[in-house]
Amino acid sequence: MKDYQYLQQKYLVNTYPNRGLVLTRGKGVYLYDQNEEKYLDMMSNYGVNIFGYNHPYLLEKLSDQLKKLITLHCSFNNDTRAMSAEALVKRCAGGLTQVYFSNSGTEAIEAALKFAVLATGKKKFIACNNAYHGKTLGALSATSGEKYRAPFEPLFWNFKHIAYNNLLELEKAIDDQTAAFIVEPVQGEGGIILPDDNYLTNVRKICDRARILLILDEIQTGVGRTGYFLASEKEKISYDIVCLGKGLAGGIPIGASLVSQKVALKIPKLIHSSTLGGNPLACGGILAILELLDEKTLKKVGRLGDYFIQQLKTVKLPLVKEIRGKGLMIGVELDDKRNEILRQLQINKILAIPAGENVVRFLPPYTIEKENIDLVIKKLKEILNV
């Protein structure tokens, strides 16, 4: 048998940590290595495989589209793309009228920043400390912290970073050159940080008074992750720009920047485009995901998320500082040894991922069941010697 781990580490640029596994296939909520050992997937490929692996309906719809047309430039019209755009805009609502399709979350952010400049004529932005919006140069300007930014500073966009969940700081940061405020409804990469209730409602009011745009980064929180299609929809606010990605196309690379009419009217032809953006295969995935994410499924996400959090709170140990989460977006903050606990979970055939400085993050597929959660709790207690 070939040493695939050796080959990947030799031939891929070394920008990723090595988890030491060679995973070759997936089925349901499990991933399998080259020796057919199965691992419970509690991270859904960083939030992408929201319906697990080899979901029959997704396979059917993607296979159908694969046989028809895989990619087509957006200068030509296409049935699947047109229907997916219509369905997505209607599903998001909140005054959004059009969508720009790209190939990743960070590309969705790049487009959103450019659209905000076009709509306002201004080039200053506000984001939050601890925020993560991507690593390409424009999105990196919005991302907080030295970890990713330091080698590339000074960055292109003019960003001021303020405390998350702090309305007073937002009001103080706005001036007559501010184009927009970009924010995550829940900070994901930053450590699963939840704001106060009605935070976005109050942010919307501040942005309206100051006549600046509000950009919501729903790349991790959106598409059902918190038990709502958009995490922000519970507050029933109006939208200027919303960014989506990750699981929106059923595992096919996707980014989406949805805009209101007032923003759309300011975007001229040819100013921003993508050869592969909005390809029919990804759009077929969008249509399938929107059908699968019905009210029953969203309620299940909320119900299982509540159960998972309740069970995690029974893991009482000095090492565990706090349990935070919404829906199936959950973080366990530890005093120490985060990476060792991730390693021990992996040894016990459970895959989770890091967030923030010391948080174990769980982003499981929506197809998990209580028995999967119970197994995680059992193994976590054993690892922490409860």
pLDDT, position 300: 98
CA 345, 346, 349, 350 dihedral sign is positive
Report the predicted TM-score, pTM, of the whole model to 2 decimal places: 0.96
What is the H or E stretch that residue 7 is in?
helix 4-11
Residue pair 281/288 in contact by the 8 Å Cβ criterion: no
Rounded CA gap, 6 and 104, in Å?
28
pLDDT, position 165: 98
Name which of 282, 348, 314, 272 is nearest 115 in CA terms: 272
Work out the widest C-alpha separation in the chain, in whole angstroms: 64
Tabulate helix, strand, coil % of the chain (nearest 5): 40, 20, 40
Q: Which residues contact 56 (CB under 8 A, 6 or more apart)?
A: none
Instruction: Dump pLDDT digits (tens) for 301-346.
Output: 999 999 999 999 988 778 899 999 999 999 999 999 999 999 999 9
For the chain, domains (ranges, CATH) are: 4-55+295-383 (3.90.1150.10), 57-292 (3.40.640.10)
pLDDT, position 316: 76
List the structure tokens of 165. 């969940």
Per-residue b/e over 5-27, b at no fewer than 16 CB within 10 Å? eeeeeeeeeeeeeeeeebbeebe
What is the H or E stretch that residue 255 is in?
strand 255-260
What is the H or E stretch that residue 171 is in?
helix 167-173
Residue pair 192/47 in contact by the 8 Å Cβ criterion: no
pLDDT, position 26: 98
pLDDT, position 111: 98
Name which of 199, 245, 239, 206 is nearest 222 in CA terms: 245
Residue type at 176 in one-letter notation: D
Each residue's pLDDT, cut to its tens digit, for the chain (386 residues) gives 899 999 999 999 999 999 999 999 999 999 999 999 999 999 999 999 999 999 999 999 999 999 999 999 999 999 999 999 999 999 999 999 999 999 999 999 999 999 999 999 999 999 999 999 999 999 999 999 888 999 999 998 999 999 999 999 999 999 999 999 999 999 999 999 999 999 999 999 999 999 999 999 999 999 999 999 999 999 999 999 999 999 999 999 999 999 999 999 999 999 999 999 999 999 999 999 999 999 999 999 999 999 999 999 988 778 899 999 999 999 999 999 999 999 999 999 999 999 999 999 999 999 999 999 999 999 999 998 75
Name which of 194, 269, 273, 270 is nearest 234 in CA terms: 194
Residue type at 305 in one-letter notation: G
Residue pair 146/121 in contact by the 8 Å Cβ criterion: no
Q: What is the mean pLDDT of the chain?
A: 96
